[in-house]
Structure 1
Amino acid sequence: MNSKEIRIYNLSPDEFKESIRSIVQELMPQQKKEVNKPAFSDELLTVEETLKLLKCSKQALWNWRKNGILPSYRLGNRVYYKKSDIFNKLVKQV
């Protein structure tokens, strides 16, 4: 996966949709490889792992969490995101 930084807060709606499409296209092969793993739907990612996966800012991720766009899970003082929730949300956005 080649890494590109995407600054979502400066994107027009069309640019945002195109960015989401490119992220989903990058995740599709990875999703197909991991679909045979029984625990895939329950794989929890830390905030840092989620930021790397989505290539977004910490503020954008926090906003999505607070607005209910991306569900999060708390274990103690830590916040986690399900990999399947992220993928499903991206697929619905396209």
Structure 2
Amino acid sequence: KLLVADSTLGKAIKEKFSFDCIANSSVQDLMRVIRSQADSLLQIDEKELAAMRIGLAHRYEKNIDKPDRDCRDLVFYVKPLRNSVPLLKKIPCKC
């Protein structure tokens, strides 16, 4: 199962990739905690992390009505992190 912040994105992922997605308040809480601790978990400079957040926000805003592109963008941004952050290597992912 895949945790997603947005139920619409979860539906698009399920249709396209046949992943069961969960989008509820518990997922929102978990994502909030991860975001608040991201700089210590990822061991990335706060300035670089802020730039990544802005880049993702702009990219998402541009493609709000194109869920397929959002999925590709997410994989594009997460895959390098997955290779560099030991914690993320433990999480199963089809990238």
Measured against the shorter chain, the TM-score band is 0.3 to 0.5
The structure that is strand-richer by fraction is: 1
Larger relative contact order (Cα-Cα within 8 Å, sequence gap ≥ 6): 1
Q: What TM-score does the superposition give when structure 1 sets the normalisation length? A: 0.36
Q: What TM-score does the superposition give when structure 2 sets the normalisation length? A: 0.36
